[in-house]
Amino acid sequence: MNSASTYDVAIVGYGPVGATAANLLGQLGLRVVVVERDPDVYFRARAISTDEEVLRIWQQVGLADQLNADMLPGAGADFVDARGVSIVKLLPADRGNGHPPQQFIYQPAVEGVLRTGVARFPNVSLLLEHECLRLTQRSDSVELMLADLTHDQFKRIRASYVIAADGGSSAIRGQLGVGFTGRTYSERWIVIDTKVVESWPGHDQLRFHCNPERPTVDCPTPLGHHRWEFPVREREDEDDLLTEDAIWKVLRHQGITPANVEIIGFACYNHHVRFADRWRVGRVFLAGDAAHAMPPWIGQGMCAGIRDVANLCWKLHAVVTDCLPDSVLDTYQEERLPHVKEVTSRAVKVGNIIIERSPLRAAARSRFFRFAGKLPGFTTWLRNHRWLPDARYLSGLLDHNGNAATGWLLPQPWVCDESGGLVRLDDIIGGRWTVVHTGPEQAWLPWRLAGVPVMTIAAPGSAAGAERIIDRDGRLIDWMAKKKATALVVRPDGFVYAAGDDVNPLPPPPTGLTVRAIRVKDHA
């Protein structure tokens, strides 16, 4: 057994959540190690979509444009009846994050780009084909006992903190004795991944076939792929369906033949609604599927995990570099869990629309949605209450003084920097604490003493300059005006820590904050 190497953070699991965490922490300059059982990217696509907020997180590590190049813009979700006639269609809404609101992905390609991004950082070490056998927590670190699966050896490593992104069957969650409460649906679903040979009408549309006899998901994925999902009915044996002949029978019912696609894989799985009882145990944090599981209906499983590590990683950096106290890490679950629960609730409600098995109730459902869809504002209401909820924290590392902007994710418009170049807002202020204001300059001395930069948000047509951002279309200025805020403190993850206006000044920084060490390293 070797002597223990020491790191700031160990990440167990190298899927999209672990790889995103490695990019975030690597860019921040921490000493990071990633532990992963498999030798390479898992070949089977699982996640199928992402959204503008997640792309904004990947933008922070300089990978959004490269990832976008391999994605397929979404055109909403069409719910159709057994005849293929539309019941209702939900279109994605642009929430102002500077990226397309819906993108279909091919997960192996996404993971490949994320891993290439990690390779930029010499401070991130990879231990592929290693398994974490045991964790031992100490007062100042965590010791991980690893099995080297290639050399039949054991290794010890130490880290100040551990992120367990090791999936829904998380071994670390089990070692910690953390419950995973909720339910697993008894109905099994078969997923079919294909390579497109020749396209067909509607091949680029997401359709939920709300057929009581055989509910089916029909989903485009980029780079010439397509996916179908359908349930195993009570009178069927899943083993009988997990054959190419049976798969082709289902696909032919959808009008798809070997002239259209080549089958590249199929598998069977259950849907889950589960939440870990605790996301933090001492110096170990659960993230992604290790912390929560949801049905796939609105494509947010992976996205929720990416949001987890975006919330957690900058806080870990702040604590490791003595910029904030360790207690800040307790806000991770406090902030993320309500949002994850709301996303999961919406996924379940959308699923209930799709999988209705009673022909009578299914007919009533179709009539209702077709009628309601003609009413002004109904589809907008449906999208706002059944698809992705707002990015907002109601409690946590926030300082509420009555202003409505506190806790919201700041919009990201295109802006002009001091040289007049057109960039996204986060390319100027992203990844660090920043005070932005539209009102008159004030002292804000406590924030300046903490090392926080102050940026003026100027109206379209204004002259660019140092510490001055031109809001090209006035979108950020309008947003702040609607919230009645003239000054905001923006956290490194883009959420508003505190807001001020003509009556209520900005509160002081959180106790102990100093940003002298929060300087993002450029490894692009």
- Name 4's Cβ contacts closer than 8 Å, sequence gap at least 6: 143, 156, 157, 158
Q: CB–CB of 249/266 below 8 Å?
A: no
Domain 5-71+102-181+274-342 has CATH 3.40.190.10: no
Look at residue 516 in the predicted model and tell me its pLDDT: 55
CATH class given for the domain over 398-524: alpha beta
Which residue, 517, 156, 214, is CA-closest to 362? 214
Mean residue pLDDT across the chain:
93
Q: CB–CB of 314/28 below 8 Å?
A: yes
The pTM of this model reads: 0.95
- Return the domain boundaries, the chain: 5-71+102-181+274-342, 398-524
In this predicted structure, the answer to whether residue 519 has a pLDDT above a threshold of 50 is: no
Look at residue 227 in the predicted model and tell me its pLDDT: 95
How many residues are listed for the chain in this entry?
Answer: 524
In the chain, what percentage of residues exceed pLDDT 70? 98
Q: What is the mean pLDDT of residues 37-60?
A: 92
Look at residue 517 in the predicted model and tell me its pLDDT: 43
Residue-wise pLDDT for 171-182, tens only, equals 999 999 999 999
In this predicted structure, the answer to whether residue 416 has a pLDDT above a threshold of 50 is: yes
In this predicted structure, the answer to whether residue 521 has a pLDDT above a threshold of 80 is: no
> Sheet holding 225-231: strands in order across?
86-90, 77-80, 206-209, 216-221, 225-231, 180-196, 261-276, 292-293
Residue-wise pLDDT for 423-452, tens only, equals 999 999 989 999 999 988 887 899 999 999
Residue-wise pLDDT for 236-295, tens only, equals 898 999 999 999 998 998 899 999 999 999 999 999 999 999 999 999 999 999 999 999
Q: What angle do CA 404, 407, 409 make, to 5 degrees?
A: 105
Q: What is the mean pLDDT of residues 293-316?
A: 96
